[in-house]
Amino acid sequence: MGNSPPRILFVTGKLAEYSLRQILDTLSRKVGFEYEVQVLGITVAALMTTTWISRKLASTPTPYENGKPDRVILPGAVSGDLDPLVSHFGVPVERGPRDLFDLPEYFGQERKAPPDLTGQTIEILAEINHTPRLSLGEILSVADRYRAAGADLIDVGCLPGETWTGCAETIRALKHEGHRLSIDSFNPIEVEAAVSEGAELVLSANSTNAEWAATLPAEFVLIPDQPRDLSSLETTRNIFHIQGKPFRLDPILEPIGFGFGESLNRYRQIRRQFPDDKMLMGIGNLTEMTEVDSSGVNFLLAALCAEWRIESVLATEVINWGRSAVREFEIARRLVHHAVQQRRVPKHLGGELVMLRDPKLKEQGEAGLARLRQFVTDPNFRIFAERGEIHLFNRDGYWHGGDPYEVFDRMVEDLGTLTPEHTFYLGYELCKAKTALTLGKHYQQDQSLRWGFLTEPEVSAVERRKADRQLRRREARKTDTQESEPSGGSD
Protein backbone atom coordinates (compact mmCIF):
# COMPACT_ATOMS: atom_id res chain seq x y z
CA MET A 1 0.00 0.00 0.00
CA GLY A 2 1.47 3.35 -1.07
CA ASN A 3 1.87 6.39 1.11
CA SER A 4 -1.27 8.50 1.43
CA PRO A 5 -1.05 12.14 0.32
CA PRO A 6 -0.33 14.72 3.03
CA ARG A 7 -3.35 16.38 4.67
CA ILE A 8 -3.25 20.17 5.05
CA LEU A 9 -5.66 22.35 7.01
CA PHE A 10 -6.03 25.94 5.74
CA VAL A 11 -7.37 28.49 8.23
CA THR A 12 -9.03 31.57 6.75
CA GLY A 13 -11.77 34.20 7.07
CA LYS A 14 -15.17 34.42 5.41
CA LEU A 15 -14.18 36.77 2.59
CA ALA A 16 -11.33 34.60 1.35
CA GLU A 17 -13.07 31.22 1.57
CA TYR A 18 -14.53 31.13 -1.93
CA SER A 19 -11.31 32.11 -3.73
CA LEU A 20 -9.23 29.86 -1.48
CA ARG A 21 -11.35 26.81 -2.26
CA GLN A 22 -11.19 27.53 -5.98
CA ILE A 23 -7.39 27.70 -5.87
CA LEU A 24 -7.02 24.62 -3.66
CA ASP A 25 -9.33 22.53 -5.83
CA THR A 26 -6.84 22.74 -8.71
CA LEU A 27 -3.65 23.12 -6.69
CA SER A 28 -4.24 20.04 -4.50
CA ARG A 29 -4.51 17.82 -7.57
CA LYS A 30 -1.36 19.24 -9.15
CA VAL A 31 0.76 19.08 -6.00
CA GLY A 32 -0.80 15.97 -4.52
CA PHE A 33 -2.31 16.78 -1.12
CA GLU A 34 -5.68 16.56 0.61
CA TYR A 35 -7.07 19.68 2.25
CA GLU A 36 -9.69 21.04 4.59
CA VAL A 37 -10.60 24.70 5.02
CA GLN A 38 -11.53 26.04 8.44
CA VAL A 39 -13.39 29.34 8.23
CA LEU A 40 -13.31 31.32 11.45
CA GLY A 41 -15.83 33.98 12.42
CA ILE A 42 -14.07 36.97 10.92
CA THR A 43 -14.54 38.70 7.60
CA VAL A 44 -10.96 39.68 6.76
CA ALA A 45 -8.38 36.98 7.41
CA ALA A 46 -5.54 39.51 7.55
CA LEU A 47 -6.97 40.91 10.80
CA MET A 48 -6.50 37.63 12.66
CA THR A 49 -3.83 37.14 15.30
CA THR A 50 -2.62 33.83 16.68
CA THR A 51 -4.03 34.78 20.10
CA TRP A 52 -7.45 35.44 18.58
CA ILE A 53 -7.29 32.18 16.59
CA SER A 54 -6.45 30.22 19.76
CA ARG A 55 -9.48 31.67 21.58
CA LYS A 56 -11.72 31.00 18.60
CA LEU A 57 -10.56 27.42 18.21
CA ALA A 58 -11.42 26.71 21.84
CA SER A 59 -15.13 26.94 20.92
CA THR A 60 -15.00 25.95 17.24
CA PRO A 61 -14.94 22.33 16.02
CA THR A 62 -12.04 21.61 13.70
CA PRO A 63 -13.06 19.92 10.40
CA TYR A 64 -10.84 16.85 10.53
CA GLU A 65 -13.04 14.92 8.16
CA ASN A 66 -10.14 12.85 6.85
CA GLY A 67 -8.20 12.50 10.08
CA LYS A 68 -5.69 14.78 11.79
CA PRO A 69 -3.83 17.09 9.36
CA ASP A 70 -0.11 16.83 8.75
CA ARG A 71 0.34 20.61 8.75
CA VAL A 72 -1.67 23.79 9.16
CA ILE A 73 -1.31 26.87 6.98
CA LEU A 74 -2.47 30.31 8.15
CA PRO A 75 -2.86 33.47 6.06
CA GLY A 76 0.50 35.18 5.64
CA ALA A 77 -0.64 38.39 7.35
CA VAL A 78 -1.58 36.68 10.64
CA SER A 79 0.55 38.12 13.44
CA GLY A 80 1.62 36.58 16.73
CA ASP A 81 3.45 33.57 18.17
CA LEU A 82 2.73 30.25 16.46
CA ASP A 83 3.62 28.03 19.43
CA PRO A 84 0.12 28.01 21.03
CA LEU A 85 -1.37 26.87 17.73
CA VAL A 86 1.28 24.19 17.35
CA SER A 87 0.27 22.91 20.78
CA HIS A 88 -3.42 23.06 19.88
CA PHE A 89 -3.11 21.18 16.57
CA GLY A 90 -0.19 18.95 17.53
CA VAL A 91 1.33 19.43 14.05
CA PRO A 92 3.53 22.08 12.37
CA VAL A 93 1.83 25.43 11.81
CA GLU A 94 3.12 27.95 9.26
CA ARG A 95 2.19 31.21 7.62
CA GLY A 96 1.43 31.01 3.92
CA PRO A 97 1.78 33.87 1.42
CA ARG A 98 0.18 37.23 2.23
CA ASP A 99 -1.80 36.98 -1.01
CA LEU A 100 -3.72 33.72 -1.39
CA PHE A 101 -3.32 33.98 -5.17
CA ASP A 102 0.39 33.31 -4.57
CA LEU A 103 -0.32 29.84 -3.21
CA PRO A 104 0.75 28.10 -6.45
CA GLU A 105 4.19 29.71 -6.17
CA TYR A 106 4.24 28.91 -2.45
CA PHE A 107 3.84 25.24 -3.35
CA GLY A 108 6.48 25.47 -6.07
CA GLN A 109 4.18 25.16 -9.05
CA GLU A 110 5.41 28.08 -11.11
CA ARG A 111 8.93 28.37 -9.76
CA LYS A 112 10.31 25.24 -8.18
CA ALA A 113 13.36 27.00 -6.77
CA PRO A 114 14.57 30.58 -6.91
CA PRO A 115 17.11 30.99 -9.71
CA ASP A 116 20.72 31.65 -8.84
CA LEU A 117 21.27 35.25 -9.93
CA THR A 118 24.56 35.84 -8.13
CA GLY A 119 26.78 35.41 -11.18
CA GLN A 120 27.84 38.18 -13.57
CA THR A 121 30.75 38.98 -15.86
CA ILE A 122 30.26 42.68 -16.71
CA GLU A 123 32.03 45.43 -14.78
CA ILE A 124 30.13 48.70 -14.23
CA LEU A 125 31.87 52.06 -14.36
CA ALA A 126 29.52 54.74 -13.05
CA GLU A 127 30.40 58.24 -14.21
CA ILE A 128 30.04 61.29 -11.99
CA ASN A 129 29.19 63.83 -14.65
CA HIS A 130 30.88 67.28 -14.58
CA THR A 131 32.77 66.40 -11.41
CA PRO A 132 34.77 69.68 -11.24
CA ARG A 133 31.47 71.57 -10.84
CA LEU A 134 30.63 69.66 -7.64
CA SER A 135 31.83 70.06 -4.07
CA LEU A 136 33.88 67.28 -2.54
CA GLY A 137 30.95 66.36 -0.29
CA GLU A 138 28.64 66.06 -3.30
CA ILE A 139 31.19 63.92 -5.15
CA LEU A 140 31.59 61.53 -2.22
CA SER A 141 27.81 61.28 -1.83
CA VAL A 142 27.26 60.40 -5.51
CA ALA A 143 30.11 57.88 -5.40
CA ASP A 144 28.62 56.17 -2.35
CA ARG A 145 25.20 56.06 -4.04
CA TYR A 146 26.68 54.52 -7.18
CA ARG A 147 28.57 51.92 -5.16
CA ALA A 148 25.41 51.00 -3.25
CA ALA A 149 23.62 50.60 -6.62
CA GLY A 150 26.23 48.10 -7.78
CA ALA A 151 28.97 50.11 -9.50
CA ASP A 152 32.42 48.51 -9.47
CA LEU A 153 34.41 51.63 -10.41
CA ILE A 154 33.60 55.30 -9.95
CA ASP A 155 34.45 57.26 -13.08
CA VAL A 156 35.44 60.87 -12.46
CA GLY A 157 34.18 62.86 -15.43
CA CYS A 158 36.17 65.98 -16.25
CA LEU A 159 35.42 68.99 -18.47
CA PRO A 160 36.95 69.34 -21.95
CA GLY A 161 39.05 72.46 -22.45
CA GLU A 162 39.65 73.03 -18.73
CA THR A 163 42.33 71.89 -16.29
CA TRP A 164 40.89 70.82 -12.94
CA THR A 165 43.23 71.75 -10.13
CA GLY A 166 41.28 69.73 -7.58
CA CYS A 167 41.66 66.43 -9.43
CA ALA A 168 44.36 64.89 -7.25
CA GLU A 169 42.63 65.87 -4.00
CA THR A 170 39.33 64.37 -5.18
CA ILE A 171 40.87 61.10 -6.33
CA ARG A 172 42.72 60.85 -3.02
CA ALA A 173 39.51 61.40 -1.03
CA LEU A 174 37.57 58.85 -3.08
CA LYS A 175 40.40 56.34 -2.75
CA HIS A 176 40.40 56.89 1.01
CA GLU A 177 36.70 55.89 1.06
CA GLY A 178 37.55 52.59 -0.60
CA HIS A 179 36.40 53.36 -4.14
CA ARG A 180 38.01 51.89 -7.22
CA LEU A 181 38.47 54.74 -9.69
CA SER A 182 38.74 55.72 -13.31
CA ILE A 183 39.10 59.18 -14.82
CA ASP A 184 37.44 60.43 -18.00
CA SER A 185 39.81 63.03 -19.45
CA PHE A 186 42.18 63.72 -22.34
CA ASN A 187 44.01 66.37 -20.31
CA PRO A 188 47.54 65.06 -19.48
CA ILE A 189 47.75 67.12 -16.27
CA GLU A 190 44.47 65.70 -14.92
CA VAL A 191 45.24 62.15 -16.03
CA GLU A 192 48.75 62.08 -14.51
CA ALA A 193 47.43 63.55 -11.24
CA ALA A 194 44.64 60.98 -11.08
CA VAL A 195 46.92 58.02 -11.86
CA SER A 196 49.46 59.17 -9.27
CA GLU A 197 46.68 59.11 -6.62
CA GLY A 198 45.46 55.64 -7.53
CA ALA A 199 43.10 55.83 -10.52
CA GLU A 200 43.44 52.42 -12.21
CA LEU A 201 41.67 53.13 -15.51
CA VAL A 202 41.72 56.11 -17.89
CA LEU A 203 39.12 57.08 -20.48
CA SER A 204 40.42 57.50 -23.11
CA ALA A 205 43.29 57.22 -25.59
CA ASN A 206 43.37 57.33 -29.39
CA SER A 207 46.10 57.74 -31.97
CA THR A 208 46.67 61.37 -30.96
CA ASN A 209 47.89 60.59 -27.44
CA ALA A 210 48.65 56.86 -27.52
CA GLU A 211 52.46 57.15 -27.29
CA TRP A 212 52.22 59.28 -24.14
CA ALA A 213 49.36 57.23 -22.62
CA ALA A 214 51.25 53.96 -22.99
CA THR A 215 53.96 55.26 -20.66
CA LEU A 216 51.59 55.65 -17.68
CA PRO A 217 51.06 52.90 -15.07
CA ALA A 218 47.33 52.56 -15.74
CA GLU A 219 44.92 50.71 -17.99
CA PHE A 220 43.42 52.76 -20.83
CA VAL A 221 40.18 52.61 -22.77
CA LEU A 222 41.09 52.89 -26.44
CA ILE A 223 38.73 54.59 -28.90
CA PRO A 224 38.85 55.40 -32.62
CA ASP A 225 39.78 58.91 -33.69
CA GLN A 226 36.31 59.07 -35.26
CA PRO A 227 33.60 56.50 -34.46
CA ARG A 228 33.51 55.13 -38.02
CA ASP A 229 37.31 54.94 -38.35
CA LEU A 230 38.15 51.51 -36.98
CA SER A 231 41.59 51.58 -38.61
CA SER A 232 42.63 54.32 -36.16
CA LEU A 233 41.48 52.11 -33.28
CA GLU A 234 43.68 49.30 -34.63
CA THR A 235 46.64 51.69 -34.79
CA THR A 236 46.20 52.73 -31.16
CA ARG A 237 45.65 49.13 -30.08
CA ASN A 238 48.89 48.03 -31.72
CA ILE A 239 50.90 50.64 -29.80
CA PHE A 240 49.57 49.34 -26.47
CA HIS A 241 49.78 45.70 -27.52
CA ILE A 242 53.43 45.94 -28.62
CA GLN A 243 54.41 47.62 -25.33
CA GLY A 244 52.44 45.08 -23.28
CA LYS A 245 50.22 47.75 -21.72
CA PRO A 246 46.69 46.87 -20.50
CA PHE A 247 43.77 48.27 -22.47
CA ARG A 248 40.07 47.94 -23.32
CA LEU A 249 38.63 48.59 -26.77
CA ASP A 250 35.59 50.84 -27.19
CA PRO A 251 34.32 51.32 -30.78
CA ILE A 252 31.85 53.98 -29.45
CA LEU A 253 28.11 53.36 -29.14
CA GLU A 254 26.25 56.08 -31.04
CA PRO A 255 22.75 57.43 -30.33
CA ILE A 256 19.69 56.37 -32.30
CA GLY A 257 19.48 58.46 -35.45
CA PHE A 258 23.24 59.03 -35.52
CA GLY A 259 24.45 55.57 -36.54
CA PHE A 260 23.26 53.40 -33.65
CA GLY A 261 22.83 50.24 -35.75
CA GLU A 262 26.19 50.61 -37.47
CA SER A 263 27.91 51.23 -34.14
CA LEU A 264 26.56 47.92 -32.83
CA ASN A 265 27.97 46.26 -35.91
CA ARG A 266 31.38 47.76 -35.12
CA TYR A 267 31.34 46.17 -31.64
CA ARG A 268 30.61 42.82 -33.22
CA GLN A 269 33.35 43.36 -35.82
CA ILE A 270 35.96 44.26 -33.22
CA ARG A 271 35.06 41.26 -31.07
CA ARG A 272 35.51 38.94 -34.04
CA GLN A 273 38.76 40.63 -35.08
CA PHE A 274 40.24 40.62 -31.56
CA PRO A 275 38.53 37.74 -29.71
CA ASP A 276 40.83 37.90 -26.67
CA ASP A 277 40.88 41.68 -26.08
CA LYS A 278 38.89 43.31 -23.30
CA MET A 279 36.13 45.66 -24.42
CA LEU A 280 33.99 48.46 -22.97
CA MET A 281 30.66 49.94 -24.09
CA GLY A 282 29.52 53.44 -23.11
CA ILE A 283 25.83 52.75 -22.61
CA GLY A 284 24.98 56.30 -21.53
CA ASN A 285 24.83 57.33 -25.19
CA LEU A 286 21.63 55.31 -25.39
CA THR A 287 20.08 55.52 -21.91
CA GLU A 288 20.64 59.26 -21.63
CA MET A 289 19.67 60.15 -25.19
CA THR A 290 16.59 57.96 -25.70
CA GLU A 291 13.33 59.23 -24.24
CA VAL A 292 12.08 55.89 -22.91
CA ASP A 293 12.24 54.15 -19.55
CA SER A 294 15.85 53.05 -19.23
CA SER A 295 15.40 49.61 -17.63
CA GLY A 296 14.52 47.84 -20.88
CA VAL A 297 17.33 49.62 -22.73
CA ASN A 298 19.79 48.57 -20.05
CA PHE A 299 18.63 44.98 -20.22
CA LEU A 300 19.06 44.72 -24.00
CA LEU A 301 22.51 46.30 -23.85
CA ALA A 302 23.48 43.94 -21.04
CA ALA A 303 22.33 41.04 -23.21
CA LEU A 304 24.55 42.18 -26.09
CA CYS A 305 27.48 42.59 -23.73
CA ALA A 306 26.95 39.10 -22.29
CA GLU A 307 26.68 37.41 -25.69
CA TRP A 308 29.57 39.34 -27.27
CA ARG A 309 31.78 39.19 -24.16
CA ILE A 310 31.99 42.96 -23.65
CA GLU A 311 33.33 42.89 -20.12
CA SER A 312 32.64 46.46 -18.96
CA VAL A 313 30.22 49.34 -19.45
CA LEU A 314 30.24 53.05 -18.67
CA ALA A 315 26.93 54.24 -17.19
CA THR A 316 25.69 57.52 -15.79
CA GLU A 317 22.52 59.00 -14.27
CA VAL A 318 22.09 62.56 -15.52
CA ILE A 319 18.66 62.56 -17.21
CA ASN A 320 15.69 61.97 -14.91
CA TRP A 321 14.30 58.95 -16.79
CA GLY A 322 17.67 57.27 -16.25
CA ARG A 323 18.06 58.17 -12.58
CA SER A 324 18.30 54.50 -11.57
CA ALA A 325 20.33 53.33 -14.59
CA VAL A 326 23.25 51.92 -12.58
CA ARG A 327 21.02 49.73 -10.44
CA GLU A 328 19.05 48.68 -13.51
CA PHE A 329 22.17 47.51 -15.29
CA GLU A 330 23.44 45.79 -12.14
CA ILE A 331 20.25 43.71 -12.06
CA ALA A 332 20.27 43.22 -15.84
CA ARG A 333 23.84 41.87 -15.92
CA ARG A 334 22.86 39.10 -13.49
CA LEU A 335 19.68 38.23 -15.36
CA VAL A 336 21.42 37.95 -18.73
CA HIS A 337 24.32 36.00 -17.23
CA HIS A 338 21.85 33.45 -15.89
CA ALA A 339 20.00 33.30 -19.23
CA VAL A 340 23.19 32.83 -21.25
CA GLN A 341 24.77 30.31 -18.87
CA GLN A 342 21.60 28.25 -18.46
CA ARG A 343 20.52 28.67 -22.10
CA ARG A 344 17.02 29.69 -21.08
CA VAL A 345 14.87 32.67 -21.93
CA PRO A 346 15.02 35.37 -19.22
CA LYS A 347 11.48 34.95 -17.87
CA HIS A 348 10.18 34.27 -14.35
CA LEU A 349 13.37 35.56 -12.73
CA GLY A 350 11.84 37.70 -10.01
CA GLY A 351 10.47 40.65 -11.97
CA GLU A 352 12.82 43.26 -10.52
CA LEU A 353 12.99 45.07 -13.86
CA VAL A 354 9.25 44.77 -14.57
CA MET A 355 8.41 48.18 -13.23
CA LEU A 356 5.64 49.72 -15.37
CA ARG A 357 3.32 46.70 -15.44
CA ASP A 358 3.13 43.49 -13.41
CA PRO A 359 4.15 40.03 -14.62
CA LYS A 360 0.57 38.82 -14.17
CA LEU A 361 -2.81 39.98 -12.93
CA LYS A 362 -4.90 38.22 -10.28
CA GLU A 363 -8.65 38.71 -10.46
CA GLN A 364 -11.60 37.60 -8.36
CA GLY A 365 -13.93 37.68 -11.35
CA GLU A 366 -17.57 38.69 -11.31
CA ALA A 367 -18.72 35.57 -9.46
CA GLY A 368 -15.94 35.88 -6.91
CA LEU A 369 -16.75 39.51 -6.11
CA ALA A 370 -20.45 38.69 -5.87
CA ARG A 371 -19.73 35.98 -3.33
CA LEU A 372 -17.43 38.24 -1.33
CA ARG A 373 -20.16 40.86 -1.08
CA GLN A 374 -22.51 38.32 0.47
CA PHE A 375 -20.23 37.92 3.47
CA VAL A 376 -19.55 41.60 4.15
CA THR A 377 -21.60 42.58 7.21
CA ASP A 378 -19.62 45.59 8.45
CA PRO A 379 -19.23 49.19 7.24
CA ASN A 380 -15.56 48.81 6.28
CA PHE A 381 -14.87 49.33 2.58
CA ARG A 382 -13.38 46.66 0.32
CA ILE A 383 -11.73 47.79 -2.89
CA PHE A 384 -10.82 45.76 -5.97
CA ALA A 385 -9.50 46.85 -9.37
CA GLU A 386 -10.08 44.47 -12.23
CA ARG A 387 -11.67 44.10 -15.66
CA GLY A 388 -11.30 47.83 -16.30
CA GLU A 389 -13.26 48.97 -13.24
CA ILE A 390 -12.85 49.93 -9.61
CA HIS A 391 -15.13 47.90 -7.33
CA LEU A 392 -16.00 49.42 -3.94
CA PHE A 393 -18.41 47.82 -1.48
CA ASN A 394 -19.38 47.36 2.15
CA ARG A 395 -22.51 46.08 3.88
CA ASP A 396 -24.47 49.16 2.75
CA GLY A 397 -23.83 49.07 -0.98
CA TYR A 398 -21.76 48.30 -4.04
CA TRP A 399 -20.35 50.90 -6.40
CA HIS A 400 -18.17 50.33 -9.44
CA GLY A 401 -16.89 52.07 -12.55
CA GLY A 402 -13.79 53.23 -14.39
CA ASP A 403 -13.70 56.76 -12.92
CA PRO A 404 -12.76 56.89 -9.22
CA TYR A 405 -14.45 60.30 -8.82
CA GLU A 406 -17.76 58.93 -10.09
CA VAL A 407 -17.48 55.84 -7.91
CA PHE A 408 -16.76 58.00 -4.86
CA ASP A 409 -19.56 60.49 -5.64
CA ARG A 410 -22.17 57.73 -6.01
CA MET A 411 -21.04 56.18 -2.76
CA VAL A 412 -21.29 59.53 -0.91
CA GLU A 413 -24.72 60.14 -2.46
CA ASP A 414 -25.93 56.81 -1.04
CA LEU A 415 -24.21 56.91 2.34
CA GLY A 416 -23.75 60.58 3.13
CA THR A 417 -20.64 62.49 4.14
CA LEU A 418 -17.73 60.45 5.46
CA THR A 419 -15.29 61.35 8.21
CA PRO A 420 -12.08 63.09 7.04
CA GLU A 421 -10.17 59.95 7.97
CA HIS A 422 -12.34 57.74 5.75
CA THR A 423 -12.31 60.28 2.93
CA PHE A 424 -8.51 60.47 2.90
CA TYR A 425 -8.17 56.71 3.07
CA LEU A 426 -10.57 56.07 0.20
CA GLY A 427 -8.98 58.78 -1.93
CA TYR A 428 -5.56 57.26 -1.43
CA GLU A 429 -6.67 53.72 -2.17
CA LEU A 430 -8.87 54.68 -5.15
CA CYS A 431 -5.92 56.54 -6.65
CA LYS A 432 -3.77 53.41 -6.35
CA ALA A 433 -6.57 51.32 -7.85
CA LYS A 434 -6.92 53.66 -10.84
CA THR A 435 -3.16 53.65 -11.36
CA ALA A 436 -3.21 49.85 -11.37
CA LEU A 437 -6.00 49.76 -13.94
CA THR A 438 -4.25 52.30 -16.15
CA LEU A 439 -0.90 50.51 -16.18
CA GLY A 440 -2.03 46.90 -15.97
CA LYS A 441 -0.85 46.24 -12.44
CA HIS A 442 -2.27 44.05 -9.70
CA TYR A 443 -4.01 46.06 -7.00
CA GLN A 444 -4.37 44.74 -3.46
CA GLN A 445 -5.99 46.93 -0.86
CA ASP A 446 -3.64 48.25 1.84
CA GLN A 447 -0.59 46.98 -0.06
CA SER A 448 1.89 48.96 -2.15
CA LEU A 449 1.76 48.66 -5.91
CA ARG A 450 4.70 46.69 -7.22
CA TRP A 451 7.34 48.69 -9.08
CA GLY A 452 10.05 46.05 -9.47
CA PHE A 453 13.18 46.86 -7.48
CA LEU A 454 11.80 50.36 -6.80
CA THR A 455 8.86 49.02 -4.73
CA GLU A 456 8.57 50.59 -1.30
CA PRO A 457 6.74 48.40 1.27
CA GLU A 458 3.56 49.99 2.53
CA VAL A 459 2.19 49.64 6.04
CA SER A 460 -1.58 49.13 5.84
CA ALA A 461 -3.93 51.54 7.58
CA VAL A 462 -5.00 48.73 9.92
CA GLU A 463 -1.44 47.78 10.85
CA ARG A 464 -0.42 51.42 11.19
CA ARG A 465 -3.25 52.20 13.61
CA LYS A 466 -2.59 49.00 15.54
CA ALA A 467 1.08 49.95 15.93
CA ASP A 468 0.09 53.49 16.99
CA ARG A 469 -2.27 52.13 19.66
CA GLN A 470 0.41 49.77 20.99
CA LEU A 471 2.93 52.62 21.13
CA ARG A 472 0.50 54.86 22.99
CA ARG A 473 -0.24 52.07 25.49
CA ARG A 474 3.49 51.51 26.10
CA GLU A 475 4.06 55.22 26.58
CA ALA A 476 1.08 55.44 28.94
CA ARG A 477 2.39 52.51 31.03
CA LYS A 478 5.84 54.10 31.11
CA THR A 479 4.34 57.40 32.30
CA ASP A 480 2.25 55.65 34.95
CA THR A 481 5.31 53.79 36.20
CA GLN A 482 7.37 56.94 36.42
CA GLU A 483 4.62 58.80 38.30
CA SER A 484 4.16 55.93 40.77
CA GLU A 485 7.87 55.76 41.68
CA PRO A 486 8.81 57.81 44.80
CA SER A 487 10.84 60.88 43.99
CA GLY A 488 14.38 60.95 45.26
CA GLY A 489 15.37 63.36 48.01
CA SER A 490 18.39 64.36 50.05
CA ASP A 491 18.85 63.75 53.73
Q: What span, in angstroms and rounded, lies between the C-alpha atoms of 445 and 386?
A: 12
Confidence of residue 326 (pLDDT cuts 50, 70, 90): very high
Average pLDDT for the chain: 91
pLDDT (mean) for 368-386: 90
Query: What's at 224, amino acid-wise?
Result: P
pLDDT in tens, 289-299: 999 999 999 99
Cα-based distances in Å from 54 to 14, 46, 115, 359, 397: 17, 15, 38, 37, 33
CA atoms within 13 A on the CB side of 19: 23
Cis peptide before 204 (omega within 30 of 0): yes
- Burial of residue 242 (CB within 10 Å: 0-12, 13-18, 19+) is exposed
Is 287 in contact with 320 (CB distance < 8 Å)? no
**pLDDT cut 90: percent of the chain above it:** 67
Confidence of residue 401 (pLDDT cuts 50, 70, 90): very high
Tell me what pLDDT residue 120 has.
Answer: 95
Is 273 in contact with 303 (CB distance < 8 Å)? no
Q: What span, in angstroms and rounded, lies between the C-alpha atoms of 195 and 202?
A: 8
Q: What span, in angstroms and rounded, lies between the C-alpha atoms of 76 and 87?
A: 19
Show contacts of 145-148: CB within 8 Å, 24+ apart. 146/317, 146/326, 147/179
Q: What span, in angstroms and rounded, lies between the C-alpha atoms of 289 and 325?
A: 13
The residues that bridge with 36 in the sheet, in sequence order, are 9
> What b-and-e string marks burial along 382-399, b requiring 16 or more CB atoms within 10 Å of the CB?
bbbbbeeebbbbbeeeeb
Answer yes or no: pTM beyond 0.95: no
Q: What span, in angstroms and rounded, lies between the C-alpha atoms of 401 and 408?
A: 10
pLDDT in tens, 95-152: 999 888 889 888 887 655 678 899 999 999 999 999 999 999 999 999 999 999 999 9
pLDDT (mean) for 67-78: 87
pLDDT in tens, 433-484: 999 999 999 999 988 999 999 999 887 777 777 778 788 888 877 776 766 6
Is the sign of the CA dihedral 257, 123, 354, 351 positive or negative?
A: positive
Tell me what pLDDT residue 1 has.
Answer: 42
**What is the CATH architecture of 123-342?**
Alpha-Beta Barrel (3.20)
Q: What span, in angstroms and rounded, lies between the C-alpha atoms of 38 and 14?
A: 10
pLDDT in tens, 227-244: 999 999 999 999 999 999
Q: Which CATH number describes the domain made up of 7-106?
A: 3.40.50
Residue 359: pLDDT over 90: no
- Angle at Cα 185 formed by Cα 182 and Cα 187, nearest 5°? 130
Q: What span, in angstroms and rounded, lies between the C-alpha atoms of 450 and 443?
A: 9
Q: What span, in angstroms and rounded, lies between the C-alpha atoms of 282 and 305?
A: 11
Q: Give start-end residues of each CATH 3.40.50 domain in the chain.
A: 7-106
**pLDDT cut 70: percent of the chain above it:** 95
Tell me what pLDDT residue 200 has.
Answer: 98
Is 166 in contact with 193 (CB distance < 8 Å)? no
Q: Give start-end residues of each CATH 3.20.20.20 domain in the chain.
A: 123-342
